[in-house]
Structure 1
């Protein structure tokens, strides 16, 4: 091979993004994150511990059809389902997912009882609590929102064996104790609510939260563009226009970080 093709091939390899198309196997040495639309994510740790977070799937207009078939989770079993709060755009599929997968369901005890999750699958948490699962540790942190029926709203910080941490904000407004979440956990990756409207941080406020309280290496916007009157993608992009940490994920496509 002559010098010019070699240089071109080397440049292409260095520039290639780290995407994994196979959503059914662990990401060796990497953390795999798949956005399923709105606030729903699948997260697979470098050691293969699989989590679902706020898996509203069946009636989610943005969730790809293949992910709406909850029977898939009988094979692709999550170790746990993390639920931030009981609103209809976050939790309605959780009881069926629990039955199909046998996974632990993580939320406040009040919310678990309201969802009628089998007691053997209850894994209750509250603000300040944490637990180990496989090669990860899950920490429950506050969110400023409402919660009905049962419990209180939460966010989650998941820490990994490689020292990194991922923060799912849940539905939250801006609040000063975000500074303590950063001080305690220093999240490297933030799954950030940005849609605003009547329910949480709008894009400009979400961008302010990242500038004022956090220093992540990756910001992944979520909870936007699903239905009106949430902010659309163009508005979110405008609010974060000069922030090179922001990554807009393709719904249903696994990304290795």
Structure 2
């Protein structure tokens, strides 16, 4: 029969063995679950919240030369919400068709909703304006201003996705630098910024985009977007010359997913 001391030794050895296999590990106190961000090329992103809410922004996919072939198939996606920043074709893209196929709620500026009336069942439209908040599962979607145009309908906006753990992701849409960015920082404190940087003709010179981040924001991560897809846009090499070696800048490849 095993003595008490022998039992203690055996128990201690069991604990050591379990620890070595990781079976006794517990989550670190205060450690947050991951936000998953996939760049689909240009300004298109798929963002999955820590609790699994799937949101796609500006789904310019099937005609986007930067989107990997396997990701052009709309059947690949199953979002709960599709967000459109403005009505230009390289942002509206496949939003209507994607919402139809996936039964996702399409969030867009109210005037764009009216312009597209009849192309999508009314219950799948969520018409919004600057200052509105849409509850999307465990995510609050805040509608914020952008400085751009939006032919043929509506006005340009950006979106701040606020997660239940307090973190937020700011998709700037198409925008030039503007003073109210200071209010976006003050109100929402975005941890991650998806920043348009590469279309000189649209006023998105990399130097101006970086000035906006440097002057108005204090992000942990900056992901450049809106480059490399359309003729005349900046290359990654161009951007690296402007951004230098700032460790906050994370360059992604179309189709790549990163967790934060």
> Could you state the TM-score of these two structures normalised by the residue count of structure 1?
0.86
Structure 1 match to 2:223 = 220
CA distance in structure 1 between the aligned counterparts of 2:96 and 2:137, rounded to whole angstroms: 23
Structure 1 match to 2:73 = 69
Is the partner of 2:202 in helix, strand or coil? coil
Is the partner of 1:124 in helix, strand or coil? strand
Structure 2 match to 1:33 = 37
Is the partner of 1:81 in helix, strand or coil? strand
> Could you state the TM-score of these two structures normalised by the residue count of structure 2?
0.85
CA distance in structure 2 between the aligned counterparts of 1:92 and 1:214, rounded to whole angstroms: 29
Structure 2 match to 1:80 = 81
CA contact (8 A) 1:193 1:200 kept: no
Structure 1 match to 2:8 = none
1:42 aligned to 2:46? yes
CA distance in structure 2 between the aligned counterparts of 1:241 and 1:117, rounded to whole angstroms: 45
CA distance in structure 2 between the aligned counterparts of 1:171 and 1:200, rounded to whole angstroms: 9
1:210 aligned to 2:210? no
CA contact (8 A) 1:169 1:193 kept: yes
CA contact (8 A) 2:37 2:257 kept: yes
Structure 1 residue 173, shift from structure 2 partner: 0.5
Structure with greater Cα Rg: 2
Moved over 6 A (4+): none
Structure 1 residue 117, shift from structure 2 partner: 2.7
CA distance in structure 2 between the aligned counterparts of 1:200 and 1:107, rounded to whole angstroms: 23
CA distance in structure 2 between the aligned counterparts of 1:117 and 1:240, rounded to whole angstroms: 41
Structure 1 residue 226, shift from structure 2 partner: 1.1
Unmatched segments (≥5 aa) in structure 2? 1-31
CA distance in structure 1 between the aligned counterparts of 2:87 and 2:120, rounded to whole angstroms: 13
Structure 1 residue 107, shift from structure 2 partner: 0.7
Unmatched segments (≥5 aa) in structure 1? 1-27
Structure 2 match to 1:104 = 105
Is the partner of 2:90 in helix, strand or coil? coil
CA-atom RMSD in angstroms? 1.1
1:248 aligned to 2:245? no
Structure 2 match to 1:16 = none
CA distance in structure 1 between the aligned counterparts of 2:74 and 2:199, rounded to whole angstroms: 29
Structure 2 match to 1:132 = 135
